Amino acid sequence: MPGFELFGDREREQVQDVLDSGVLMRYGFDGMRNGHWKAKELEAALSAKMKSKHVHLLSSGTAALTVALASAGVGAGDEVIMPTFTFVASFESILALGAIPILVDIDDTLTLDPSAVEKAITPRTKVVMPVHMCGSMANLEVLQQICDQHDLLLLEDACQAIGGSYKGKPLGSIGDLGCFSFDYVKTITCGEGGAVITNTKAYYENAHKYSDHGHDHVGHDRGAETHPFLGYNFRISELNAAVGLAQLDRLDEFIALQKKSYTILREALSQVPEISFRKVPDGGEENYSFLSFFLPSEAIAQQAHKALGEAGIDACFYWYNNNWHYYRKWEHLSQLESLGKLPQEVIEGLPDYSKADFSASDHWVGRTISCLIKLGWTEAEIRERAKKIAEILKKTI
Ligand SMILES: *Cc1c(COP(=O)(O)O)cnc(C)c1O
C-alpha cells in the first residue's frame, strides 16, 4: 500500500517549485507564487479522478472526517454510526464535534453489516459512516437504501481504499461525502494530508470555510474576508500538496502493481482449502492494498500469525489484538479517558462499550489475517513470499 516506497524525482520536482517561490501556504501571496497553486491543482486533479464535483484538501484524513461531518451540520449529541473495525480516527472525528460514535458490527466484508446498521438507528442518528478497510468496500447499495429510507447521510471513509471502485464509481464518490487520507503510510501520500469529496456544493462551501477559521475566501485580501460562522484550522500546506500531485499521477501505476502482487498471493493461498477470502460486494473492485483471509478458528488464526512472524514474514496483520484498529483495545473510548471534560451530550449519550456484545464482529476479525501488499516487491520476491505463506498456513492448519 505505501506510496512512500516509490517517492522519487517527480515528487522532488513538485516540492522544488514550492521551495523556489517560497510560498508554502495555499491561500494568498498571488504575486510571489510564480503561478504555483499546488493545493488548488491537486483538488482539480482529484475532482477529475474521483468524478466528484467538489474536493477540498485538508491537513489529514482525520481532519477530513471531522470537516466532512461539520460541513453537514453534525454537532453535539448527534449519533454517527461507525464500524467496530476501523482506525481510531473514526471516533476521534465524531467526538471532536461533540457527536456520539455508535459502534456497529461488521460482517464478512470486514466493513459495516447493513442489518446491524438498521438496528442501531435512533431518532438522533444523522450519519452512517462505512469504513472501506484494507482496500475493499462496504455494501454501499444496501447502505444507501437504508440512508435514503431513514433520511441519513452516507459518509464513506475511503482513507484505505483510494483507487478502488463500486459499480463503476470511485470509492469515496458514492456517498453524500467521501474522505481520503494521504498520511505517510497510505496508498498515495502527501507526507500528511487528507481530502473531502462531495457533489453537494453547500457541503463544499462549508468545508473550505470551516477548515480555514471561517474565511469566506471571497476576493484577494484575506484580512478583509468575512467569517460567516465559527471555524478552525485544518489547512494543508503547499509542500504537502505538491507531494500529493506527483503521487496522484502515479495512483493507477500503484494500483496495477498491487493488483499483480495481490493476484499472485491470492492464487497461492487458494491452494489452502481451509482458508476463505474476505467478501467483496458484487460490483466492487478492491484497490488491492491488502489480501485479507479467514482461518478456520480464532486459535488457528493466532497460531498462524505467530508462525508467519517467526518465519520472518513481515506486514501480515492480526487485527483482533491490535491497539488501534479494533474496538477490543479501545479502553480510552469506553472509559472516556479525555484530558479535559467532554460535552455533557457525549458523557450521557455514549453507550457503555465495556459491556457491549460485538460477538458477530469477533467471529470475523478473530479469524482474519491481512497481508499488506507492498509496491517495491519484484515478481520473484512476491512468488517466494506467497509460497512461504501458503506453506506456513498449511502447516498450522
Ligand atoms: C489513516 C486513516 C484515517 C486517518 O487519516 P490520517 O491522515 O492519519 O489522519 C482515517 N480512517 C482510516 C480508515 C485510516 O486508515
Q: Whose CA is nearest to atom 6 of ligand 1?
A: 61
R_g of the chain computed on alpha carbons: 21
Name the residue with cell 466528484.
52
Q: Residue 221: which pLDDT band, with cuts at 50, 70 and 90?
A: very high
Q: Edge-to-edge strand order for the sheet containing 368-372?
A: 276-277, 290-294, 368-372, 316-317
pLDDT exceeds cutoff 80 at 393: yes
The full set of domain ranges for the chain reads 3-250, 252-396
Secondary structure (H, E, C), 317-384: ECHHHCCCCEHHHCHHHHCCCCCCCCCHHHHHHCCCHHHCCCHHHHHHHCCEEEEECCCCCCHHHHHH
Q: Whose CA is nearest to atom 2 of ligand 1?
A: 159
- Copy the grid coordinates of residue 342: 467532554
pLDDT exceeds cutoff 90 at 2: no
What is residue 31's DSSP assignment?
A: G
Mean pLDDT of 108-117: 98
Name the residue of 1, 57, 62 whose CB sits within 8 Å of the most ligand 1 atoms, as the mutation to test its pocket: 62
Phi, psi at residue 251, to the nearest 5°?
Answer: -55, -45
Q: Is the pTM of this model over 0.85?
A: yes
Q: Residue 3: which pLDDT band, with cuts at 50, 70 and 90?
A: confident
- List pocket residues of ligand 1, CB cut-off 6 Å: 60-62, 86-87, 89, 131, 157, 159-160, 181, 183, 194
Burial class (CB in 10 A: 0-12, 13-18, 19+), 314: exposed
**Nearest-angstrom CA–CA distance, 207 and 36:** 23
Residue type present at position 136: S
Q: For residue 219, how far is its CA from the centre of ligand 1 (angstroms)?
A: 33
Residues labelled catalytic: 186
DSSP 227-281: -SS---B-PPPHHHHHHHHHHHHTHHHHHHHHHHHHHHHHHHHTT-TT-EEPP--
Mean pLDDT of 376-394: 96
Collapse the DSSP code of 81 into the 3-class scheme (helix H, G, I; strand E, B; otherwise coil) and give the result.
strand
Q: Which atom of ligand 1 is nearest to the CA of 186?
A: 1
Selected from 3.40.50.300, 1.10.3720.10, 1.20.1560.10, 3.90.1150.10, the CATH number assigned to the domain covering 252-396 reads 3.90.1150.10
CATH number of 3-250: 3.40.640.10
What confidence score (pLDDT) does residue 292 get?
Answer: 98
Mean pLDDT of 77-101: 98
What is residue 220's DSSP assignment?
A: S
What confidence score (pLDDT) does residue 1 get?
Answer: 65
Q: Which atom of ligand 1 is nearest to the CA of 60?
A: 7
Q: For residue 223, how far is its CA from the centre of ligand 1 (angstroms)?
A: 33
Which residue in 143, 79, 88 sits closest to 111, CA to CA? 143
Looking at 28-139, list the stretches that DSSP marks H as alpha helix, in order from N- to C-terminal side.
38-49, 61-71, 89-96, 114-120
Name the residue of 60, 94, 183 whose CB sits within 8 Å of the most ligand 1 atoms, as the mutation to test its pocket: 183
Q: How far is CA 313 from CA 49, 305, 307, 318, in A?
A: 35, 9, 9, 13
